[in-house]
Homo-oligomer: A and B are copies of this chain.
């Protein structure tokens, strides 16, 4: 363990939030200083409940997360929120001002919020999001909420590191179909119909129930469907209770250990893919640029080129 990394890890574990913010930036940038400190911190993690909240844009995820944070605070939990905000090079930052609503909590030392910038590149964001959750876990935040827009494979990938996943929809937008298309039925442990005071809320609930009726639940947990009106805080308490019940189920059924192994495998593969990609990108810019030209000119195909690249790395 390097002295500097040891120092950074110790600071973070001691509760230093500035140090934690620096570490998370290192991790996002895949800076080696972060890797070293993280190694130490990871070993101290594993106590928090990681809760994923996902759903289509506009379903009111952030408002629900906000209400859930209040609920958990009232119960005395320390809460961390890790939110993946898509960004655009055109706007130069997060497009939605969702996080603004959370400013209430910013003076509360029992709450920490981190926005992950999903930059252009593919691989980095999923591992960095998980690492941020682990860092807060090791710092003693016992509820870590991971919030993503649930619309694609990348988001599904991110949310897979949570223990309990809540999928949020709203009535009258065909959200159920969108949820199904994004593969969220497979990963939801709890379904929330938000904005349940709107027309069509019952129909949406029924649609979700009928999709769920097609599933078998060999693990013994049948995802409940919760009606919520997050802007009024309605449903947040029930959500926290369902999340607790799910966690208890994981622990009692032994399913939690199994999930932990699946998560470990998933994260190792992510790390491996990312490091291979980094090395390969460098090689293709430099010594192996000729491979790119050769494929572009149809002199060889990509999988033959990948094999050559793989041998050279």
Kindly state whether residue A46 has any CB partner on chain B within 8 Å: yes
Kindly state whether residue A4 has any CB partner on chain B within 8 Å: no
Given contacts A186-B90, A301-B39, contact A265 B292 (CB under 8 A): yes
Chain B residues contacting A211 (CB-CB under 8 Å) are 90-91
Chain B residues contacting A141 (CB-CB under 8 Å) are none
Given contacts A151-B151, A152-B154, A174-B57, contact A306 B264 (CB under 8 A): no
Give the distance to chain B from A176, nearest Cβ to Cβ, in Å. 10
Stretch of A66-74, A247-255, A271-279 with 4 or more beta carbons under 8 angstroms from chain B: A271-279
Chain B residues contacting A245 (CB-CB under 8 Å) are none
Q: Name the one of B215, B271, B277, B299 contacting A273, with C-beta atoms under 8 angstroms.
A: B277
Do A183 and B271 touch across chains, with their CB atoms under 8 A apart? no
Q: Which residues of chain A have a CB within 8 Å of any CB of chain B?
A: 35, 38-39, 42-46, 57-58, 86, 88-91, 95-96, 118, 120, 122, 127, 149, 151-155, 157, 173-174, 177-178, 180-183, 185-186, 211, 214-215, 257, 260-261, 263-265, 267-273, 275-277, 280-281, 284, 291-293, 295-296, 298-307, 309-310
Q: Residue on B with the closest CB to A258? A: B296
23 A-B residue pairs with Cβ-Cβ distance under 8 Å, sorted by A, are: A38-B303, A42-B302, A44-B298, A57-B178, A57-B181, A86-B182, A88-B180, A90-B211, A118-B153, A122-B157, A261-B296, A268-B280, A268-B291, A268-B305, A268-B306, A269-B284, A272-B277, A272-B306, A272-B309, A272-B310, A273-B273, A275-B306, A275-B310
Do B268 and A309 touch across chains, with their CB atoms under 8 A apart? yes
The listed residue with most B CB atoms (<10 A of its CB), out of A58, A291, A302, is A302
Chain B residues contacting A45 (CB-CB under 8 Å) are 298
Q: Name the one of B42, B57, B268, B271 contacting A292, with C-beta atoms under 8 angstroms.
A: B268
Give the distance to chain B from A167, nearest Cβ to Cβ, in Å. 13
Give the distance to chain B from A118, nearest Cβ to Cβ, in Å. 8
The listed residue with most B CB atoms (<10 A of its CB), out of A180, A268, A309, is A268
Copy tally for this chain in the complex stands at 2
Do A273 and B270 touch across chains, with their CB atoms under 8 A apart? no
Q: Residue on B with the closest CB to A151? A: B151
Q: Name the one of B95, B185, B284 contacting A90, with C-beta atoms under 8 angstroms.
A: B185
Given contacts A86-B183, A90-B214, A301-B42, contact A295 B268 (CB under 8 A): yes
What is the CA–CA distance of A42 and B302 in the complex, to the nearest angstrom? Answer: 9
Q: Name the one of B155, B186, B268 contacting A89, with C-beta atoms under 8 angstroms.
A: B186
Do A185 and B88 touch across chains, with their CB atoms under 8 A apart? yes
What is the CA–CA distance of A182 and B284 in the complex, to the nearest angstrom? Answer: 27
Chain B residues contacting A310 (CB-CB under 8 Å) are 272, 275-276
What is the CA–CA distance of A298 and B43 in the complex, to the nearest angstrom? Answer: 5
